[in-house]
Amino acid sequence: MKRKFNFFCFWLLLALSAATLVFNSCSKDDSGNSSTSGKGVVINGVAWATCNVDKPGTFAAKPEDAGMFYQWNRKIGWATTGNVTGWDNSIPTGNAWTKSNDPSPTGWRVPTLKEIQKLCDDSKVSNEWTIQNGINGVKFTDIATGNSIFLPAAGMREQGYSYDVGFGGYYWSNTADDTNGAWFLLLQSSLVGEDGYTRDDGCCVRPVAE
């Protein structure tokens, strides 16, 4: 009986160690900055997650991973590569991304346009198009603290079709632009800033702490 108990404890400790490893990969940025009480890395006063949203309610395993694409104000995740079926070409409604449709894990949410603008404030945050572990993207660094996060150039889905993978990053805000559009963070090798796009396109979500 004692041998069985020890065998169970061994596998339990192994599982806990693996879970801790996955958690830590998204609790630190590429420079090893520890998260703020498990609530992200603070850049210009906003606590950003270090990984994209993957399936609803979960994070991608690594900062370089694309996670899944989401249409604005919808909670259905779409694969970032390959073909997909059942794409919804209707325009999502609403003036802001509602909490019930937010795919972010518990304690996180889709950022506001103002929070994205703070990330793009080059007087307080530097940005650099770079390659991290073989993946193109942009590294944002808080000038005052040195804290940094990496956002991959995962592309997007336009009318259900993959677009700009490896060349551009498109990250939703929760803020509507007009009846058909919403604001998002645009990342390219020569341009970083906010822009508007149609709501039925699929983009990444990089959440902030609630």
* Tokens encoding 160: 């259900």
Name the β-bridge partners of 209: 108
Q: Where are the alpha helices (DSSP H) in the chain?
A: 2-25, 113-119
The pTM for the full model equals 0.84
User: What pLDDT shows up at residue 185?
Assistant: 98
- 3-state SS track over 126-153: EEEEEEECCEEEEEEEECCCCCEEEEEC
Name the pLDDT band for 83 (thresholds 50, 70, 90).
very high
User: What pLDDT shows up at residue 168?
Assistant: 97
pLDDT of 2 > 60? The answer is: no
Choice between 58 and 38, residue whose per-residue pLDDT is larger: 58
Burial of residue 198 (CB within 10 Å: 0-12, 13-18, 19+) is middle
Phi, psi angles (nearest 5°) of residue 2: -65, -40
Letter for the amino acid at 158? Answer: E
pLDDT of 57 > 50? The answer is: yes
